[in-house]
A and B are shown apart, each in its own frame.
Chain A
Amino acid sequence: MSGTDKSFSARLSLNILLITSVLFVTAIAVAAISSHKLIADEATKSAQHLLNSTIGDIEKTLQGVETSIEAAAWLVEEHKNDVDYLYHITSKTVEENPDIIGCAIAFHEYYLPGEYFFSPYSCVGSTGQIETMQLGTPQNNYFFADWYQIPSLMGEPSWSEPYFDEGGAKVLMSTYSYPLKDESGNVYAVLTADIPLYWMSDLLAEVKPYPSSTVSLVSRSGSFVTIGSFEELAGETLFSMVDRSSDKDKGLKEAAMKIISGESGVCRFSRGTKISFVVYGTLQNGWHAYMTCDYKEVLARTSEMHMILILIGLLGLLILFILCYLTIRRLTKPLTEFSASALSIAEGNFNTSLPEIKHDDEIKQLRNSFEFMQTSLTEYIRDLKETTAANERFESELNIANAIQMSMLPKNFPQNDRLGMYAMLKPAREVGGDLYDFMVKDNMAYFTVGDVSGKGVPASMFMAITRFMIRFTLGMGLPLNEVINRVNNSVCDGNDTGMFVTLFIGSVNLDTGEFHYCNAGHNPVVVNGEFLPAVPNLAIGVWPGFQYQEQVAKLERGTRIIIYTDGVTEAEREDKAQYGEDRLLKWANASIETCKSAEEACQSLMDSVHEFTEGNAQNDDITIMTIKIK
């Protein structure tokens, strides 16, 4: 039993677990997808913010440089004819702005009469001292340098492409060029400030939201201003790097194009299996900054979070399973007990106690039903026992009654040279309402056959009374009709139930063959194969004071008489066909002569009736009396 219970609890728990798991996995999946997207979006935004603030930091420095140069430009304007002061301006500019490592005022050809080049220049020397000199020489013809030509032609300040200063500071630098114009708007000189770019690399190297994220700065055209490591910078551009990428990398070129488009935004690219996003923006001076971030690193935190979530979930599922299992086992425990109780009851122990159920639930209902069944069964069995006992008692009483009734019927049939007589009575139930009796006194033989209406115990009692009264009255030596008159009056007196007796009574003088008889509503008697003509009279017990008629006939020697009750003629087959008077007469004419004795004749008629009914249940008492006058 416990095995079944176990598997039931486990099965139910597993089902619950399965459903919960599906829900849990779905929830995790939805959470993972949405949180991935959310975190990626957030990461993009914060990368953009970070990039923008970095851009701001760089711009602050660059603007400082630009402001210094603008101030110097004003001074140059004021003192453009004071050559010494012009040198002083460059020296002062380098000295006052630590970000500027070189400053030049490159005038156009022949600014000083007779001098093709004139360009006062100050820079931080190798010893840290500010060195001032005249820059322009035939070997160092600045008129062809980009930093001079572009602002001269454009008439606007500009930042140069990054370059590696081989001669001066030997660092990667960029030059800010500021054109100086006269009253008519012609450019007469270009004021420059050289700034080293390594500090930007240092600055950007510190901006590292993720372990492998990098921030880079490229010029208008895509030349690297800074990148992760210094060595990569020499002559490298964004596009030369893109060109070297393998075919597996996707979106790199598009990303590069976007970066130098001058806009800000975000886009994705992949290198091998590594998927990254890049946020980009543009500085005021036209340079572009971008930051690449690996998605894997961005989402590392969420993966960790998901792992924790899954662990918690699994732990929860385990706890759920254990709780379910224990709860169900506890709830179904009464079922196991019920099973044991049912077995016990089935074995006949009706007082078997049932498990107590505290909660008013289905189990409780089951218990109540069970209890009801138990009490019903107990009552039923008790009733059955009582009924059976009562039936047995009743049956045994009936058997006794049957024995009494049968013992009342005379058995010592006269069997001599003058008279052969035999009678049979077969009740339909234990006791019957038929009767027969006979009496032989000297040369007189008296015999009677009667049938009380109905059968069973009431009829048998009526029969006993009637038989007693006939015997009693016959003993008084009265004529037969007077005997019946008296019996009728006695029976009618106090006969509230309307019972009656049909009766044939006859007497034969064995010397003379004189036959007196009276038929009180009884079936006609067969004498020598024919019905004996009889006045029907009336059944006994029907009408008080009725005057019965007696008839007389003469019997020859060898006469055979058959007296019977309606149990013979009304014996029925299953199809309700009755034995009937015709069959009786036929038997009386065909078979009776072959019978050697009255007893044999009785038995033969009884067999004939049984043969006819084909075993159909006997529905009335059968009495047969055969008499032969010898």
Chain B
Amino acid sequence: MDVSIEKNGAKTLVKLVGRLDTTNADQFQNDIAPLMADAAPDFELDCTDMEYTSSQGLRLFLMLQKTVSSKGGSMVMCNMKPQVKEVFDITGFSNIIKII
């Protein structure tokens, strides 16, 4: 999983590329850790090139969402591939995380 973070004013654009699985979940957690520190986060997660996410990945997205919510910020995931979206649907995460 390659993560590129781009600040655009108050908005933070995070581009996710590749597979998020057991082998790189820890790395992904480290990559997004700085984002959790933002005061009033406004994230857009670009999932155009995200191929797969494991349940550990889901956990990390959930934690990110919870942090953002607790700080009164907003987070949106966009351009999700159908097979990835399906995982979010099955687990009911699409009810909690805003996916466009």
- Residue of A523, A538, A539 most packed against chain B (CB within 10 A): A539
Contacts A498-B62, A542-B62, A576-B19: A453 and B56 contacting too (C-beta < 8 A)? yes
How does the 8 Å CB contact mask read for A516-535 relative to B, with 1 for contact and 0 for none?
00001111100000000000
Question: Bound complex: CA of A523 vs CA of B66, how far in Å?
Answer: 23
Contacts A451-B55, A455-B22, A566-B55: A538 and B92 contacting too (C-beta < 8 A)? yes
In the A-B complex, the 4 residue pairs with the closest CB atoms: A538-B92, A521-B91, A498-B63, A453-B55
Residues of A within 8 A of B60 (CB): 498
Please, which residue of chain A has its CB at the minimum distance from the CB of B97?
A: A542
Residues of B within 8 A of A499 (CB): 59
Within 8 A of A (CB), among B59-75: 59-60, 62-63, 66
Residues of A within 8 A of B54 (CB): 570, 620
Residues of A within 8 A of B95 (CB): 536, 538
Question: Bound complex: CA of A498 vs CA of B91, how far in Å?
Answer: 14
Within 8 Å by CB of A539, from B63, B66, B93, lies B93
Whether A522 lies near B62 (C-beta < 8 A) is no
Please, which residue of chain B has its CB at the minimum distance from the CB of A548?
A: B92
A-B contact pairs, 19 of them (CB 8 A): A455-B22, A500-B59, A500-B91, A502-B90, A521-B91, A521-B92, A521-B93, A522-B91, A523-B90, A536-B89, A536-B92, A536-B95, A538-B92, A538-B95, A538-B96, A539-B93, A542-B93, A542-B96, A619-B21
A199 within 8 A of B: no
New contact pairs (17) apart from A521-B90, A521-B92, CB-CB < 8 Å: A451-B55, A453-B59, A454-B59, A498-B60, A498-B62, A498-B63, A498-B66, A500-B55, A500-B58, A500-B59, A502-B91, A522-B91, A536-B89, A536-B91, A538-B91, A570-B54, A619-B22
Residues of A within 8 A of B89 (CB): 536
Contacts A576-B19, A619-B22: A537 and B59 contacting too (C-beta < 8 A)? no
Q: Give the number of residues in B that approach A within 8 Å (Cβ atoms).
A: 21
Residues of B within 8 A of A472 (CB): none
Residues of B within 8 A of A539 (CB): 58, 91-93
Question: Bound complex: CA of A620 vs CA of B53, how far in Å?
Answer: 13
- Residue of B25, B62, B96 most packed against chain A (CB within 10 A): B62
Contacts A576-B19, A620-B22: A498 and B59 contacting too (C-beta < 8 A)? yes
- Residue of A521, A566, A620 most packed against chain B (CB within 10 A): A521
A394 within 8 A of B: no
How does the 8 Å CB contact mask read for A533-559 relative to B, with 1 for contact and 0 for none?
000111100110000000000000000
Please, which residue of chain A has its CB at the minimum distance from the CB of B89?
A: A536
How does the 8 Å CB contact mask read for B25-36 relative to A, with 1 for contact and 0 for none?
100000000000
Residues of B within 8 A of A523 (CB): 90
How does the 8 Å CB contact mask read for A217-232 relative to B, with 1 for contact and 0 for none?
0000000000000000
Whether B21 lies near A538 (C-beta < 8 A) is no
Question: Bound complex: CA of A499 vs CA of B66, how far in Å?
Answer: 12
Whether A537 lies near B19 (C-beta < 8 A) is no
Whether A524 lies near B93 (C-beta < 8 A) is no
Residues of A within 8 A of B58 (CB): 453, 500, 539
Please, which residue of chain B has its CB at the minimum distance from the CB of A522?
A: B90
Residues of A within 8 A of B94 (CB): 536
Please, which residue of chain B has its CB at the minimum distance from the CB of A498?
A: B63
Within 8 A of B (CB), among A485-524: 497-500, 502, 520-524
Whether A537 lies near B92 (C-beta < 8 A) is yes
Question: Bound complex: CA of A500 vs CA of B56, how far in Å?
Answer: 9
Residues of B within 8 A of A537 (CB): 92
Whether A536 lies near B90 (C-beta < 8 A) is yes
Question: Bound complex: CA of A619 vs CA of B20, how far in Å?
Answer: 13
